[in-house]
Amino acid sequence: MLSRRQLGIALGLGFLPPMACDADEPGAACSIVLDVESARALVVVWSATALRMTVTVATIDGRVVGRWPAEMGEAGIGTIDADGLEAATTYVAAIALDDGRVMQPHVFRTAPRDDDGRAVRLSWSADVDPDPAYDSPIFETLAAQEAELYVSLGDWPYADNPPWPDSIEGFRERHVQARGWQKLQPWLHGVSVRAMLDDHEVRNDWDAATFAAEPERHGYALQVWDEWFPRRGGTPVRYQRWRWGAHVECFLLDCRSYRDASADPDGAEKTMLGAAQRQWLVESVTRSAATFKLVFTTVPLDYGHGVDHWAGYTVERDGILDALADAATPGVLFLTADQHWFAAQRHRHGAREFQVGPLSRSPLPLPALRPGVLARSAEYCFGVLDVAAAGVRVRALGATGNVLWDETYSAAELTLRRS
């Protein structure tokens, strides 16, 4: 973390003004850095009172790269896309609001270029509920990892906590509570985020059937999620892929927006991803030039409770795994969440999966052990990936930094093979 003086120098101010907040005020304003690439970054700010903001981005040695003004929209959210950045560089983003509030700066790191072979560190997890019942030191532990990027696999916020909102304003309030939560701020101000929604942003286990029953309410929830996690260019497509240097390409799946009802009979027609996303996934992974292809799916490939996850969509899942095995694509790793326990799992054709979460929600009872389950632990947890040419080191860490898994795999070892 940079000191206040370092931050002041970096911003060309010499010092930070006295009204600068040590942390964003819960309920008043909060901010996040999203969708960082090698040359640009989205800075997203919510304020209860401001009408306009200015974001200043500088290098840590004091060179101001630019200042971007923005209006806060109807939802109180302003977004800027800071461009012209250098790859693999640490930046400071300072946010000034026209209500006089100067928010806590963000420190973030741009992605290395696609041909840059340096080692990188990513993290991932899910499930953020500010209820004090789930208190633990996990956010301090997560911040201490100093990952360049955090991939959020959903349930942030638990917008369906009772009473389930039935208005746009009601859903917005849930995001204010979960994004502005004081405990997150030291971590969120030192990392950039890529995010996908899962179910609780809308309602528990939502699918095509629940959507059809209450389209207006589901629509409110999705509109508000899109406000709080805006995408570059406003594309309606939530699934995405991005590079993080020579050795990493990430694929973040949308396992909710296109899925058939989970209770439908499994079969050739039943889909979680929809045909377009499924084709995109297989083609993109098999053609990727990165050493490792990290496939993030908000729900696990198998071995969880019920059929809300890929266990209810086995024909589609197996078709994807078959295609990856037929292509013999090296370096494929599945990273998941949702079930509220850590698990290391092996699937069809040797596909490897690591499941983490919750960050802040109840760990759940473990179901019966199955042959593909290599290790499990029901506790607060997250994952850390250290990726270099020789391998990807996968760690799963508990709330105090206790090690649940620590193993390194070469790209050859992460090749799906038909047995």
Residue 166 to residues 129, 154, 202, 218, 227: CA-CA distances in angstroms? 19, 20, 11, 9, 17
Are 205 and 199 contacting, i.e. CB atoms less than 8 angstroms apart? yes
Distance in Å, CB of 200 to Fe ion, minimum: 6
Distance in Å, CB of 364 to Fe ion, minimum: 9
Distance in Å, CB of 311 to Fe ion, minimum: 17
Give the Cα separation of 135 and 116 in Å (integer). 39
Distance in Å, CB of 382 to Fe ion, minimum: 13
Q: Tell me whether residue 37 or residue 155 sits nearer to Fe ion (CB atom).
A: 155
Give the Cα separation of 418 and 353 in Å (integer). 17
Q: What is the DSSP letter of 178?
A: H
Q: Tell me whether residue 55 or residue 311 sits nearer to Fe ion (CB atom).
A: 311
Give the Cα separation of 416 and 45 in Å (integer). 42
Pattern of binders to Fe ion over 108-147, x per CB under 5 A? -------------------x--------------------
Q: Which residues contact 205 (CB under 8 A, 6 or more apart)?
A: 199, 262, 306, 308
Distance in Å, CB of 340 to Fe ion, minimum: 6
Q: For residue 42, give both structure tokens.
A: 């989205």
Give the sheet arrangement for strand 240-243, strand by strand. Answer: 240-243, 248-252, 292-297, 332-336, 352-355, 342-346, 373-377
User: Quick one: which segment of 149-157, 160-168, 313-321, 383-391 binds Fe ion (CB under 5 A)?
Assistant: 149-157
Q: Tell me whether residue 23 or residue 364 sits nearer to Fe ion (CB atom).
A: 364
- HSE of 38 in the Cβ direction (CA atoms, 13 Å)? 14
Distance in Å, CB of 125 to Fe ion, minimum: 10
Distance in Å, CB of 47 to Fe ion, minimum: 28
Q: Tell me whether residue 91 or residue 156 sits nearer to Fe ion (CB atom).
A: 156
Q: What is the DSSP letter of 211?
A: H
Number of residues that bind Fe ion (CB under 5 A): 2
Distance in Å, CB of 350 to Fe ion, minimum: 28
Q: Tell me whether residue 24 or residue 308 sits nearer to Fe ion (CB atom).
A: 308
Residue nearest to Fe ion (CB): 155
Q: Tell me whether residue 127 or residue 316 sits nearer to Fe ion (CB atom).
A: 127
Q: Tell me whether residue 79 or residue 123 sits nearer to Fe ion (CB atom).
A: 123
Q: For residue 347, give both structure tokens.
A: 């699937």
User: Quick one: which segment of 13-21, 152-160, 275-283, 402-410 binds Fe ion (CB under 5 A)?
Assistant: 152-160
Distance in Å, CB of 230 to Fe ion, minimum: 23
User: Quick one: which segment of 21-29, 111-119, 133-141, 148-156 binds Fe ion (CB under 5 A)?
Assistant: 148-156
Residue 106 identity: H
CA angle, 25 as apex, 23 and 28 as ends, to 5°? Answer: 150
| Residue in 155, 227, 249, 260 binding Fe ion, rule: CB under 5 A | 155
Q: Is 205 in the site for Fe ion (CB under 5 A)?
A: no
User: Quick one: which segment of 151-159, 188-196, 293-301, 387-395 binds Fe ion (CB under 5 A)?
Assistant: 151-159
Q: Is 370 exposed, middle or buried (0-12, 13-18, 19+ CB in 10 A)?
A: exposed
DSSP for 241-256?
A: EEE-STTEEEEE--SS
Binding residues for Fe ion, rule: CB under 5 A, are: 127, 155
